[in-house]
Amino acid sequence: MIRMQAHSADIGWQQSATDGIVGTQGKAQPLQAFRIDLKGAQSNSSIEVQAHVAELGWQPAVSNGAVSGTTGKNLPMEALKLRLTGPAAETYELFYRVHVSDFGWLGWTKNGQIAGTTGLAKNIEAIEVRLVPTGAQLPATGIPSYISLPSLASQAYITGEGWTKSVGNGEIVGTTGKAKTLEALKIDVPSQLTGSVSYSVHVSNVGWMNSVTDNATAGIIGQGQKLEAIKISLTGDLSKYFDIWYRAHVEQYGWLGWTKNGNAAGTGSLSYRMEALQIKITPKGVAAPGSTQKPFTDKPFKVNYALLDVPCLLQMPQLPTGCESVALTNTLNYYVFGLSKTTMADSYIPRSNWDFVTSFWGDPHSARAGNCCSAPAITNAANKFLAQRGSSLRAYDVSGISLEGMYSNIQDGAPVIVWSTMYQQPIGQQYAWQNYNGKRYITVTNSHTIVLRGFDRNTGNVYIADSLSGYKTVDASWFNRLYIQRGSQAVVIK
């Protein structure tokens, strides 16, 4: 007969039990220590137990009911091994399994094999042990008894250089900043779990190739065909317990965002070479290693033409000096918020009798008593509104951004709020200035704020939504000159 006892967080030592379960389930109480003994057995027979403890690793094996694990240190057990010793081991075996945080019950194992997890920060919460006659069959669950973070090995074939050395989990394969082309890749994920790694590459002049697995070559070597994109996924039990994250470093763009589990990373049909790849395997559900913005694109880095369908409410007659608030409203309505013309001016932008940086100076409803506000006021108002609506969008003060930077935002589908002049006339006389956060803000007699919604490199024009004159086409160099003269103020929502 066996007797065992578990020590759980916030509970302490629980009542001892014989064959069966100790610990808790569904209470998120990590098991921190465990002891087990063999009663009524032949002399010199005992149960040996060895625990793997968070931050400490594998502890020395103990027996005869000694405590395995720790108490008073808030360190959960993550895995264990149990083994019969002495004459009892000739006629009996120990079957055991563990209940793990996030995973639930794992499969059965026996006789000194590992039960639980290592390297995943998953806690044992309960243990089930059975003493059975030698030769008994383990209960079949179809679930592994032990899960550890798989290793990863990846190699790249670089034009003119050949295969790189193999790199591990989270490391970069390939080069950056050297304009070198990847022609092929090999990826392997050795693991005790069932399953494999499957990957497919997009090759210039070919398109997506068939998937390969487990260290097979993906790509075409020696024919001048470059890799442009990749999809990677795990199969079998590997896919149940782990995510595979990856991102591509490509010509023109550099590092794109992270993606996972079979989604495309890189570029499509642009003839941009892939130069490097970073792959990281993580436990299922763990957050991305970095930004997930735009992991794949089929848009050229510099398109010649882009035009966004930005609404264009006119500020007159309700807001004769409220161009900034109407520009913000038009931008928010581009994101389908359906705002009325005066909502932002009346409910979100504060007013002041002197501050025109973080507030509106005067009354936007008045032609004589209204002046203006600046990029910080619009950014703050937009973020207050977006937070109240529970939106994932955010406003950013991008003042100082170049015209090319504005084009990049337009290309990505984000219109830009820009400070300019009324009817895009020459800059008027400066009549006020204010310092804020180390920057000098000015305003002029014909200050005006519009929304940049498109550009055409071939004609050298930009397209704006102007709350005074509607949709207009403006010479790009003149537009940029006015933007700079008005203090290079700009806000983008994305």
| Average pLDDT rounded to a whole number, residues 222-249 | 96
| Average pLDDT rounded to a whole number, residues 402-431 | 94
| Average pLDDT rounded to a whole number, residues 429-457 | 97
Q: What is the pTM of this model?
A: 0.63
Question: Which tokens go with 267?
Answer: 């570029």
- For residues 408 and 457, which has the higher predicted lDDT (pLDDT)? 457
**Which stretches does DSSP call E strand in 86-151?**
92-100, 104-105, 109-110, 115-118, 124-133, 146-148
Angle CA 187–181–258, to nearest 5: 55
Give CA–CA dist 389/337, Å, rounded: 9
378 with 386: CB under 8 angstroms? no
Q: Is the pLDDT of residue 390 over 80?
A: yes
Q: Is the pLDDT of residue 376 over 90?
A: yes
Q: Is the pLDDT of residue 282 over 90?
A: yes
pLDDT of 378: 98
Mean pLDDT of the chain: 95
Domains of the chain are 2-134 (no CATH), 153-299 (no CATH), 306-493 (3.90.70.10)
Q: Each residue of 452-493: pLDDT tens digit?
A: 999 999 999 999 999 999 999 999 999 999 999 999 999 999
| Average pLDDT rounded to a whole number, residues 402-409 | 90
Q: Which residues contact 296 (CB under 8 A, 6 or more apart)?
A: 229, 256, 259, 263, 264, 265, 266, 267, 268
Q: Each residue of 29-74: pLDDT tens digit?
A: 999 999 999 887 667 899 999 999 999 999 999 998 999 999 999 9
Question: Which tokens go with 71?
Answer: 């108490």
| Average pLDDT rounded to a whole number, residues 209-230 | 96
Query: Where does the pLDDT of residue 302 fall: very low under 50, low under 70, confident under 90, or very high at 90 and above?
Result: confident
Closest of 317, 327, 265 to residue 291, by C-alpha:
265
As a whole number of Å, the CA-based R_g of the chain is 32
Q: Is the pLDDT of residue 300 over 90?
A: no
pLDDT of 266: 98
- For residues 273 and 412, which has the higher predicted lDDT (pLDDT)? 273
pLDDT of 42: 66
